[in-house]
């Protein structure tokens, strides 16, 4: 039998939680970043709304940011093309999570948490090459 087969492609990657929406005691979404080549934490996107169990799981792993957070003074849009800004609480960039990225919505869409967070010292996240960047 000949024919086409369709496959839904998903990728996962690691990112660092740099802020949350909702209360720190009950986060609704994580704002995530990745380190650039100069070691600066750059905003990469936010998760979809966390299920209550996931929000509860990360609560004890998040600490309110001290002075000098990499995103101090930044504002985050509530949605693509929206002038409304999110009310966020910055957290210490210590929590590394694995997220699934829908390739079709990578540039504008939310990220979905895939695996339990990895507590501990942040480690450099590999720089993710854009599909529009030429290969080395």
What does the DSSP assignment read for 11-25? EEEEEEEEEEEEETT
The secondary structure of 50-106 as a DSSP string is PPHHHHHHHHTT--B--TT-TTTT---BSSTT---B--EEEB-TT-EEEEEEEGGGT
Does 60 have pLDDT greater than 70?
yes
CA dihedral 45, 48, 50, 51 (to 10 degrees): -160
pTM: 0.69
Q: Which residue's entry shows tokens 């957070």? A: 69
Model confidence pLDDT, tens digit, residues 64-91? 999 999 999 999 888 777 788 889 999 9
Distance, in Å, from the CA atom of 37 to the CA atom of 116, rounded to the nearest integer, reads: 26
Average confidence (pLDDT) over 7-16: 78
pLDDT: is 132 or 19 the higher one? 19
Q: Residue 131 pLDDT > 80, yes or no?
A: no
> What confidence tens digit (pLDDT) does each residue in 109-121 have?
445 554 444 444 4
Length of the chain: 136
Top mean pLDDT of 18-32, 49-63, 98-112 is at 18-32
Distance CA 1, CA 88 (A): 54
């Amino acid at each position: 039998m000949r024919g086409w087969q369709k496959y839904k492609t998903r990728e996962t990657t690691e990112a660092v939680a740099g802020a949350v929406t909702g209360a720190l005691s009950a986060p609704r979404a994580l704002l995530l970043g990745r380190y650039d080549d100069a070691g600066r934490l750059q905003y990469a996107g936010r998760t979809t709304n966390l299920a209550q169990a996931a929000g509860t799981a990360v609560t004890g792993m998040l600490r309110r940011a001290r002075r000098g957070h990499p995103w101090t003074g930044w504002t985050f849009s509530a949605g693509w093309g929206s002038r409304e800004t999110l009310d966020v609480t910055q957290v210490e960039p210590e929590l590394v999570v694995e997220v699934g990225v829908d390739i079709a919505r990578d540039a504008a869409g939310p990220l979905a948490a895939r695996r339990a967070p990895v507590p501990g010292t942040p480690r450099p996240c590999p720089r993710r090459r854009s599909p529009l960047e030429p290969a080395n």
